[in-house]
A and B are shown apart, each in its own frame.
Chain A
Amino acid sequence: MKCDYSCQSNDHLIARRQFLGGLAGSFVVGGLGALTNPVAAEQLKKNGMRVLVVYMSGGLSQLESWDPKPKTDTGGPFRAIQTAVPGTQICELLPKTATHMDKLSLIRSINTKNNDHGKGRYQMTYGRNKMPGTEHPHLGAVCAKALERSDNPLPGHIKVPGGSRGSDAAYLGPKYASVGMTGKPPANSERAKNLTESADALRNSFRRKVNDRFSLQRRTAETDVYTQSYEQALQLMEKRDVFDVDKEPASEHEKYGKFDLGKHCLMARRLLENDIPFVQVSHSNYDTHNENFNFHLEQLGEFDQAFSTLVNDLHERGMLETTLVVVMSEFGRTPKINARFGRDHWGSAWSVCLGGANVQPGGIIGKTNENGTKVIEREVDHGHLFHTYLSAVGLESSEAFDIGGREQPMADPSRTPISELIA
């Protein structure tokens, strides 16, 4: 990632300005479109848009969740139930979520033409097909940069659970890469007990002085990140309690459920309340080639409690209108039930649930046929979805980042948002 910052190029100036100034200078393309307009940028900043992804790892069955097909040859044993939206039914495994469907929408016509876990994960979280020799930033990195809060020292792209910094920001740089959290403050984030506050301040002052002198002549992207990491670590130390989910009262833990996903969703609420632009919570595991129905019963029981509680809390706290919530997987599962009561990988006709921010609530986009084997209306793919997520938080998804003088489109230029879903 060596770059020529030390040459004092325009790229560097822009990047420096972005870093210092936050959102307003982050975009240069699109005929100086809305986001480069300081008023619009200020508005976006004021709105404090955020994104929450709940990633159903392994491939959630659309038939056992958002697009049930009861009493068909692919329907399985579960029934469909009414939701808060008249005429909209989802699987009976999601009774609590069903009561919040008036705040959410469904896209039932996804065809990603892929049945591979790795490729599917990439498609859904990077918005493109993975191509050898090219790197694109994760949705979280895009959001962390585009929705960056200059006044918030906390990382902008957090994955729960996780344990380390990801390498998923591509050309946006490590600053926007994911940081993994588990619900506890980051390790070693307390000042050492034998180090006084004044001694700590002195040594940091000395470090800054030496760094500044070094950067006058030999500044690189690496040294910038190195410096940022130190500064961020210091700020993190001051706000370490944000990452400590045990600070939440026992009644909140009870409400979300005393299992990993419950704890992680409560953690997500805490992070979103602290204005983190992007949070991804993962729930494992839905790769149910065997006993699909038993395992979905088990997993979705947890999901239904934790997710519905989180949606309700975001709603009641007035945060849903500025928080995009997306429930996604790498693909869906086969309509055909295999010999082991399992369902296999299926990218041809599946669903995503989303809501909040500027998403029209209570909608259904697209349709599959009677037994769910193919899309018959409004087919979309991961590229359309990626654009839609960005549009839902007020970004102009056709714009590009200026990276070293090169335009890097935020989303796949061959795709567009699902505009009818955006308010």
Chain B
Amino acid sequence: MSLDPKQTHVLHEWKHGKPLIACCFDPTGRYLFTSSEDYTLQRWDLKDGSKVAWEAHDSWIRDIAFLPDGETVITAGCDDRIIFWPVTGDKPQPRAEVVAHKGWIRSVDVSTDGALIATGGNDHLVKLWDPNGKLVRELVGHKGHVYSVFFHPDGNSLLSGDLKGVVHQWETKTGKLMRSFEAKELFSYNTGQKVDYGGVRDIALSPDGKTLAFTGLHKATNPLGAINEPLVLLFDWAKGESVRKQPAEGIRGIGWQVEFLSDGSEVCASGGGGGGYLIFFKPAEEKPFHKLKLKDTARDMSLHPDGLQVATAHWDGYVRISRMEKKAAK
């Protein structure tokens, strides 16, 4: 069996019962963590779908990340805090808790070597932390809410994307702003409704390190009414130039997450007025080569370490795990 996006099918549907917000596989591939509007964090055992849930923050959890050893999970809350939890145990207690930002923390990521943790918040700041929750560096430069943070696998760079469609590249050792990518198509100001809308919802890098992907939305003719379409933008990493726009025409929604697959293609999870989709693109092509409609709108997506499974968090209270290969014969 091997990766075949066109054969993607939903393998598991596990019910939490309350609307889900975020999801993330642990790096060892044993568990899937999800968060919910009921303020709990859930740990799903991939062997049997059993769940352990506990109240975690004073508010919603917007993002989840892990230290590389798979023993510690970090949750980013709308209560200004990041909390470090043990991955296992029936009643996990916080290992550390940090008031990290003023306002929501929308994104958290961990460097490949586990030495640094990055957070991005509504205070327009990006912050770097050590694995014990000690502040290492504060990165100032965004002029809007920070929606996404992403460590380059080489460990030298951090990327952060904001509401206004600006992605900054920071040198992790010094905190110096190296350059910026203009992903302006992912932002709009609606003069009728007088609202800012969009944002760089997620950032990914291709396996060969040559191509960056940013996702979000465009064609926002009615932001308050969710009339918009998902969009993926590809940039050349070396040149810093835009190389392709990948719209998902006809689908109403937001591109919440984008990941590169082992064959170089991308999968984007979208959710919104048009329901939930997994949308597959090839970097050399503008149009998607495959779309899978999900049963309910998706709000987050995580790629399993095996590269063959994606989990999606849904408003209907289900987490769905899809396999991107041919269905096994019964």
**Which residues of A does B touch, CB under 8 Å?**
58, 70-71, 73, 76-79, 260, 284-285, 287-291, 295, 297-299, 337-342
Contact = CB atoms under 8 A, between A and B. Distances in A.
Interface centre among A73, A290, A342 (most CB of B within 10 A): A290
A337 B194 contact: no
Contacts of A285: 192-195, 224
B315 interface: yes
Given A339-B296, A340-B273, A290 B78 contact: no
B226 A290 contact: yes
B224 A288 contact: yes
Given A71-B58, A284-B194, A291-B223, 14 more contacts: A70-B58, A73-B18, A73-B38, A77-B59, A77-B104, A79-B58, A79-B59, A285-B193, A285-B194, A289-B226, A290-B224, A298-B196, A339-B297, A340-B271
A161 to B, nearest CB: 11
B225 interface: yes
B37 interface: yes
B60 interface: yes
B223 A337 contact: no
A77 B224 contact: no
Interface string B265-291: 000000111000000000000000000
B225 A290 contact: yes
Interface of B: 18-19, 37-39, 58-60, 62, 78-79, 104, 122, 192-197, 223-226, 271-273, 296-297, 299, 315-316
Contacts of A79: 58-59, 79
Nearest to A342: B226
Contacts of B18: 73
A178 B274 CA distance: 41
Contact of B193 (A70, A76, A284): A284
Given A295-B195, A340-B297, A73 B226 contact: no
A323 B302 CA distance: 55
A21 to B, nearest CB: 43
**From A78, A295, A298, A341, residue with most partner B Cβ within 10 Å:** A341
Contacts of B196: 298
A334 B271 CA distance: 21
Nearest to B37: A337
Given A79-B59, A285-B194, A287-B224, A297 B122 contact: yes
A24 B2 CA distance: 89
A77 B193 contact: no
B273 A78 contact: no
Contact of A71 (B39, B272, B296, B297): B39
B204 to A, nearest CB: 22
Nearest to B252: A340
A188 B223 CA distance: 37
Contact of B194 (A76, A260, A289): A260
A339 B315 contact: yes
A298 B195 contact: yes
A340 B19 contact: no
Nearest to B79: A79
Contacts of B38: 73
B59 A295 contact: no
Contacts of B104: 77
A340 B37 contact: no
Contacts of A337: 19, 37
A150 B82 CA distance: 62
